[in-house]
Amino acid sequence: MFEDVRLQGQILMEMATFLGDSYIRPVSIALVIQDLGGTEETFSKVLTRTHMLVHNNDISKYTLADFKAFYQKIEPEIFKNVNDVIIIKVLNGLAIMYIDDLYSIAKYLTQTYQLENKLPGI
């Protein structure tokens, strides 16, 4: 029944859109990773290494560029051409669903990005 993985991905993206998926409140971090071409292993690496980063370092001064470089080191092929809004979406998804201690920096980076790019809050 669900043999076409691309169709499954499309189904999930449509459901996420219906549920109000945005860079501020992603419906699924796994869906973001899948959309980038990542796998379950990619998801696991991103989750565990971000958790370690947050709990073993002072990330209060981290910039969007710092996080982008961090993810590019974890999975160079997946994150090599990723744009800033996707990094924000990853951070917000992790903060909302998995890593509470990431919330304040994710919110700050989101607000800074919105101001710098003159985007309305969603």
Domain membership of residue 44 (yes or no) is yes
Threshold 0.85, pTM exceeds: yes
Q: Name the amino acid, one letter, at 116.
A: E
Our count of domains for the chain comes to 1
Contacts 24+ apart (CB under 8 A), 37-40: 37/77, 37/78, 38/75, 38/78
| DSSP structural state of residue 47 | H
122 residues of the chain, pLDDT tens digit each = 456 777 887 888 889 889 988 899 999 999 999 989 999 999 999 999 999 999 999 999 999 999 999 999 999 999 999 999 999 999 999 999 999 999 999 999 999 999 998 877 65
Domain membership of residue 66 (yes or no) is yes
Give the domain extent around 47: 1-117
Between helices 40-56 and 84-97, what is the axis angle to 10°? 80
Angstrom distances, CA of residue 105 to CA of 55, 95, 115: 13, 9, 15
Domain membership of residue 122 (yes or no) is no
